[in-house]
């Protein structure tokens, strides 16, 4: 969208007005930032003692702080990867069996989906952590987090897969059945491989959600990055600073993931000039199939 | 018949920790409801403003809007809530933790609302805005009277999902000083008073399901009401 | 691919960080306070077969639940070293089992999860500022107590209004403590529900007190003494302790032999001076006097 549709290309007078508004906004922003910084400075939150261990490589605590932080972060990444793979498998299975199976089974799946869509993900994680051992299933702690995240995300992914398959032109399934493929074969060999391409951006967005949610691992004592922070601030005495660094790390990684999603989106839609839209979506929604499921956060 | 009755009796007995403390559950349920109502209103309003920033002709505002969404969409809610509870007082903003919790939810959710609203704005066909301009409406008039009212209809479904996600997210605020909300009930009853965890946790889960499923149903009705053929 | 300058600087900083982290220059890291004392590690101890002690001693390792984020009692330093009075007590007991400190596996055990960790068998014992009380004794057994704490109030130094728990309700003060802890239950009779603020860690309560977000922090006296000592005069304790909090060693329900063994180890430690050294190296850095070992329970 190079020329704005919402307003005219500004003439000289509006250009002046816009310039004035820009300057005022800019000054307002600067003032706000300055005010915050002054406050923080006065409370000693900008001191070397608080920031040094995190930003100054010569600080004696720097190495230990970052070793701990990166080790913990690696556990978030690990848990997110496991949860994503598992959610993808379970979600696809839910979606496919829902498309193909008997009515009572479809209802059971819909029930499962509605249940876990309505449940906070912390409760899903907590239930996995507390109920599975009661049932005699004892696992390394990371798996309770992964199972909780999977219960929650697989139902979202099931929806993504379902509408991905539904978005394909009918001719694909018809052609498959006309050459004698069963419904299962047609799904597996013809529809799914194409649907996955369309779904890829939505799946990457979901990965952002999963990654953010791994930070809830602290609730079940999984030693991820926020658990680390809770312990480290007792030694470093700089909660604001440490959380700031953690926020920057999460924002950077997730921002890059979203850029990747946009890039993939472009590639996919370039490859298929008539990019299909998910069933039921308005024909001109922007490249973001399933807005709402994929962008609602965790 | 006898075994059925004794089975039912056992089931009811299992949920004694919930039934005996039903008042506590009800209180916490209402409190959570209060939190999410404030947070829903706040995030819809703020998210709309941020969306307006993102399509504004004033470039610093666009920049603010984009950064806002990038920051709050990509940051875990736990971290956002942390900064509300412990960061705001450090810059001289004091208040009740209830409002800090609501603020955290509003900041985080506003990014998702803004994205939904923005894609709604983009879904209003260009001709509408052009026509509005052609009859001499200003930017604010054309946004307020032509584009937004239409955009809101397309964004009802995604906005509904955003709000329902926010309701579920609200389970985390208890960790940041917001007392007596639904998820914290388990800590009060189980850790401090030693009741069985699983029935209590199932009771808490039921509380959230009541809110989210009712919300989902209302949303369905609303969707059908505002649905327009285009 | 062209990198813009910001990215380049960012990448450089990150790389330096990685290298520095990889080199791992070990120094004394955070909040430690002196060298940890050493305790006797019994060589080849003999225990009756089938007891918990025989199993643990045979395995040569023990899983001990403690806090990871409680200065003075159980704190994990940045370099992974465990510090605190609970940690020292645990080392003393393990030593009597013939297990050296480096063979202990520490398991994080926050207040709200201690009984569960014991019941699920994820730990062999819990030493984590664990108050002995009747509700908990229904689910786990306690050896000890090895220390007698008491709950007290901490306020900002300029606060004249609050003098003790009885003045809380009238003043409308906001009172902060930790979710699922004994102090949170003990304080409830003194205040309205709306006055209570609950966090995950006492350090969060302390920070909230520092920014005027709450007026009172309440928990056991020694924990608060540590915060007062580090506050540069910003905080003070008011009133006397108003509860008795005997800290016990949590073990699986009904393991009488193990309980007796732990009590024996504690008694010996008090005799040899190990108990006193453990205190002085940790909580003793802020408390004025070294406690006596309290009278131990009978394990029945």
Same domain? A37 vs A141? no
Q: How far apart are the first and last CA of chain C?
A: 73
**Domain of residue A250, CATH code:** 1.10.3720.10
**Position B35 confidence tier, pLDDT thresholds 50, 70, 90:** very high
- Asked if B198 is an interface residue toward chain C (Cβ–Cβ < 8 A), one would say no
Judgement on whether residues A81 and A36 belong to the same structural domain of the protein: no
- Decide if C115 and B179 are in contact by the 8 Å CB cutoff: no
Q: Tell me the pairing of strands C196-199 and C216-220.
A: unpaired
3-state secondary structure C151-205: EEEEEECCCCCCCCHHHHHHHCCCEEEECCCHHHHHHHHHCCHHHEEEECCHHHH
Residue A120 located in a structural domain: yes
C189 vs B122: which has the higher pLDDT: C189
Q: Quick check: is C43 in a domain? A: no
pLDDT of residue A290: 36
Q: How many domains does chain C have?
A: 2
Average pLDDT of C121-141? 90
Residue B150 — very low, low, confident or very high, per pLDDT cuts 50/70/90?
Answer: confident
Cα–Cα distance between B12 and C28 in angstroms, integer?
A: 57
Burial of B206 (0-12, 13-18, 19+ CB in 10 A): middle
**Host domain of residue B176:** 25-226
The tokens describing A120, both together, are: 């906070």
Helices (H), chain C: 5-23, 52-59, 85-96, 114-119, 134-137, 168-171, 182-187, 202-210, 221-229, 256-272, 274-281
Same domain, A128 and A252: yes
**pLDDT for res C181:** 82
pLDDT of the residue at B173: 92
Which residues of B are less than 8 Å from A284 in CB distance? 122-123, 125
Q: What is the CATH number of the domain that holds B211?
A: 1.10.3720.10
Do C250 and C144 lie in one domain? The reply is: yes
Q: Look at residue B228 and tell me whether its pLDDT is greater than 80.
A: no
Q: pLDDT higher for C9 or C71?
A: C71
Task: Please count the residue pairs, one from chain A and one from chain B, whose beta carbons lie less than 8 angstroms apart.
Answer: 183
Domain total in chain A: 2
How far is the C-alpha of C239 from the C-alpha of C237, rounded, in Å?
7
What whole-number percentage of chain C has pLDDT above 70?
88
Based on the domain organization, do C125 and C81 belong to the same domain? yes
Q: What per-residue confidence (pLDDT) applies to A112?
A: 82
C266, part of any domain = yes
Cβ–Cβ below 8 Å for A296 and B164: yes
Note the pLDDT tens digit of each residue in C10-64. Answer: 554 454 444 444 443 333 343 444 567 888 888 878 888 888 888 898 898 999 9
Give me the CATH number covering residue C81: 3.40.190.10
Beta-carbon count within 10 A of C42 CB:
14
Q: Does any domain span residue C15?
A: no
Quick check: is C34 in a domain? Answer: no
Average pLDDT on B193-207 reads 82
Shared domain check, A267 and A133: yes
Q: Do C213 and C73 lie in a common domain?
A: no
Asked if residue C145 has a cis previous peptide bond (ω within 30° of 0), the answer is: yes
**C137 and C253 in a common domain:** yes
- Rounded to whole angstroms, the Cα distance separating A97 from C175 reads 54
Q: In this structure, is residue B18 part of a structural domain? A: no
Chains in contact with B, counting 3 or more C-beta pairs less than 8 Å apart as contact = A, C
Residue A8: predicted pLDDT: 64
User: Which residue in B191, B195, B197, B200 has the most chain C C-beta atoms within 10 A of its own C-beta, making it the best mutation to test that interface?
Assistant: B191
Q: Are residue C219 and residue C250 in the same domain, yes or no?
A: no
A95: in domain:
yes
Indicate whether C26 belongs to any domain: no
Domain that holds residue C159: 151-238
Query: Do residue A37 and residue A93 come from a single domain?
Result: no
- The percent of residues in chain C predicted with pLDDT above 90, rounded, is 42
Residue C115: its pLDDT value, please?
A: 87
State which of C199, C216, C238 marks the end of a domain.
C238
pLDDT in tens, B43-86: 999 999 999 898 888 888 999 999 999 999 999 999 999 999 99
The domain in which residue A35 lies consists of: 12-43
Please tell me the distance in Å from B14's CA to the nearest CA on chain C.
18
> Is residue C223 one of the residues assigned to a domain?
yes
C139 and C183 together in one domain:
no
Report how far residue C272's alpha carbon sits from residue B197's, in angstroms, rounded to the nearest whole number.
43
Q: Which of B86, B188, B191 sits opposite C207 (nearest CB)?
A: B86
Quick one: C59 and C199 in the same domain?
no
* Predicted local confidence at residue C108, as pLDDT: 92
Q: Does some domain include residue A7?
A: no
Domain presence at residue B153: yes
The pLDDT, as a whole number, for residue A284 is 37
pLDDT band at C156 (very low <50, low <70, confident <90, very high): very high
CB contact under 8 A, A223 and C201: no
CB contact, 8 Å: A223 with chain C?
yes
pLDDT of residue C4: 53
Are C74 and C67 within 8 A, CB to CB? yes
Instruction: Say which residue, B151 or C122, is predicted with more confidence.
Output: C122
In this structure, what token pair is assigned to residue C67? 């806090």
pLDDT for C127 equals: 95
Q: Residue C44 falls within a domain, yes or no?
A: no
List C83's β-bridge partners, or say none.
C75
Per-residue pLDDT of chain A (298 residues; tens, 9 = 90+): 444 556 667 778 888 888 888 899 899 999 999 999 998 998 888 888 889 888 888 888 898 899 999 999 999 999 999 999 999 999 988 888 877 777 888 888 888 888 888 899 999 998 898 888 878 888 888 999 999 999 989 988 888 888 888 888 888 888 888 888 887 788 888 888 888 888 888 888 889 999 999 999 988 889 999 999 999 998 888 899 999 999 999 999 999 998 998 888 888 776 654 444 443 333 333 333 333 333 344 4
**Residues A229, C277: Cα–Cα separation, whole Å:** 30
pLDDT bracket for residue B127 (50, 70, 90): confident
């Amino acid at each position: 969208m190079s020329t704005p549709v919402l307003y005219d290309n500004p003439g000289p007078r509006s250009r002046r007005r816009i310039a004035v508004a820009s300057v005022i906004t800019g000054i307002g922003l600067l003032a706000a930032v300055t005010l915050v910084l002054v406050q923080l400075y006065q409370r000693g939150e900008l001191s070397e003692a608080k920031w040094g261990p995190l930003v100054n490589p010569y600080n004696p605590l720097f190495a230990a702080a970052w070793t701990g932080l990166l080790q913990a972060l690696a556990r978030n990444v690990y848990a997110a990867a496991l949860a994503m793979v598992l959610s993808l498998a379970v979600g696809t299975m839910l979606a496919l069996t829902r498309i193909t199976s008997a009515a009572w089974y479809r209802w059971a799946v819909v029930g499962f989906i509605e249940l876990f869509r309505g449940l906070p993900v912390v409760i899903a994680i907590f239930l996995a952590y507390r109920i599975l051992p009661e049932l005699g299933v004892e696992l390394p702690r990371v798996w309770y987090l992964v199972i909780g995240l999977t219960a929650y995300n697989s139902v979202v992914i099931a929806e993504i897969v379902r509408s991905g398959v539904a978005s394909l032109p009918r001719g694909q399934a018809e052609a498959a059945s006309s050459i004698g493929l069963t419904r299962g074969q047609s799904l597996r060999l013809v529809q799914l491989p194409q649907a996955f391409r369309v779904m890829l951006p939505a799946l990457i967005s979901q990965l952002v959600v999963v990654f953010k949610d791994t930070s809830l691992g602290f609730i079940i004592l999984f030693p991820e990055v926020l658990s680390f922070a809770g312990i480290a601030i007792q030694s470093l005495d700089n909660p604001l600073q440490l959380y700031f660094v953690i926020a920057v790390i999460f924002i950077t990684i997730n921002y890059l993931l979203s850029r990747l999603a946009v890039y993939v989106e472009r590639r996919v839609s370039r490859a298929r000039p008539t990019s299909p839209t998910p069933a039921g979506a308005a024909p001109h929604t922007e490249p973001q199939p399933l807005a709402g499921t994929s962008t609602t956060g965790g | 018949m006898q075994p059925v009755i004794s089975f039912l009796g056992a089931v009811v007995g299992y949920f004694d920790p919930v039934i005996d403390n039903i008042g506590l559950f009800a209180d916490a349920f209402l409190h959570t409801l209060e939190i999410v109502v404030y947070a829903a209103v706040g995030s819809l309003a703020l998210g709309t403003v941020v969306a307006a920033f993102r399509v504004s002709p004033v470039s610093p505002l666009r920049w603010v809007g984009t950064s806002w969404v990038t920051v709050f969409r990509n940051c875990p809610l736990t971290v956002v809530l942390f900064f509300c509870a412990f960061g705001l007082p450090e810059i001289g903003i004091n208040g009740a933790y209830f409002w800090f919790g609501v603020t955290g939810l509003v900041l985080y959710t506003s990014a998702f609302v803004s994205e939904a609203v923005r894609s709604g704005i983009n879904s209003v066909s260009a001709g509408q805005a052009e026509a509005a301009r052609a009859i001499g409406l200003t930017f604010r008039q054309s946004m307020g009277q032509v584009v937004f009212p239409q955009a809101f209809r397309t964004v009802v479904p995604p906005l509904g999902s955003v709000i329902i996600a926010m309701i579920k997210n609200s389970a985390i605020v208890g960790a940041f000083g917001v007392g007596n909300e639904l998820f914290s009930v388990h800590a009060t009853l189980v850790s401090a008073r030693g009741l069985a965890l699983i029935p209590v946790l199932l009771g808490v889960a039921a509380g959230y399901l009541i809110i989210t499923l009712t919300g989902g149903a209302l949303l369905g009705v609303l969707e059908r009401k505002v649905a327009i053929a285009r | 691919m062209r990198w813009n300058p910001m990215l380049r600087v960012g990448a450089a900083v990150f790389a330096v960080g990685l290298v520095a982290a990889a080199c791992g220059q070990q120094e004394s890291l955070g909040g430690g306070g002196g060298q940890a004392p050493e305790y006797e590690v019994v060589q080849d101890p003999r225990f009756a077969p089938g007891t918990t002690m025989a199993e643990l001693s045979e395995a040569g390792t023990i899983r001990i639940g403690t806090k990871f984020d409680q200065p003075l009692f159980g704190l994990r330093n940045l370099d992974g070293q465990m510090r605190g009075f609970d940690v020292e007590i645990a080392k003393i007991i393990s030593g009597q089992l013939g297990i050296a400190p480096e063979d202990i596996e520490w398991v994080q055990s926050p207040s709200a999860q201690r009984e569960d960790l014991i019941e699920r068998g994820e730990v062999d014992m819990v030493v984590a500022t664990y108050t002995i009380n009747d509700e908990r004794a229904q689910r786990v057994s306690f050896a000890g107590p090895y220390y007698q704490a008491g709950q007290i109030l901490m306020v900002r130094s300029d606060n004249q209004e609050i003098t003790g728990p009885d003045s809380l309700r009238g003043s409308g003060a906001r009172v902060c403590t930790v979710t699922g802890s004994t102090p949170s239950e003990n304080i409830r009779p003194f205040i309205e529900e709306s006055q209570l603020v609950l966090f995950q860690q006492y350090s969060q309560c302390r920070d909230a007190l520092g920014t005027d977000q709450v007026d009172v922090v309440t928990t056991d006296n020694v924990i608060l003494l540590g915060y007062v000592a580090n506050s540069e005069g910003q905080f003070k304790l008011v009133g006397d302790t108003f509860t008795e909090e005997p800290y016990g060693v949590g073990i699986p329900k009904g393991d009488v032999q193990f309980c007796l063994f732990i009590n024996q180890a504690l008694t010996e430690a008090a005799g040899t001076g190990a108990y006193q050294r453990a205190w002085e190296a940790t909580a003793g850095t802020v408390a004025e006097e070294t406690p006596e070992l309290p009278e131990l329970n009978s394990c029945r």
